[in-house]
Amino acid sequence: MSTELNMVYWKGEKFWVGKLLDYPDIMSQGETLEELESNLQEAFMLMVMDDVPAEHEIKSISVSI
């Protein structure tokens, strides 16, 4: 399963800083843009999977509106 997210980022004094536009509470930093992106991905997964047990399954479903 893949989710496309947009991040806004900028160069601070020492680190690259950024946050997810769809989830502005998720903010991180990294020494490189790659590290920043990885840190934001990890923070998003921690938020999404917070209450999911280690033993779980994933299945794609379709929802019609």
- Which tens digit of pLDDT belongs to each residue from 7-60? 999 999 999 999 999 999 999 999 999 999 999 999 998 888 888 888 988 888
In a domain, 2, yes or no: no
Residue-level pLDDT at 26: 94
The edge-to-edge listing of strands for the beta sheet with 27-30 is 7-11, 16-20, 27-30
Give the domain extent around 22. 7-48
Residue 65 lies in a domain: no
| Residue carrying the six token digits 């920043």 | 36
- Residue 64 in any domain: the answer is no
Q: What is the pTM of this model?
A: 0.77
Give domain status of residue 31, yes or no. yes
Structurally, how many domains does the chain consist of? 1
Q: Could you tell me if residue 43 is inside a domain?
A: yes
In a domain? residue 29: yes
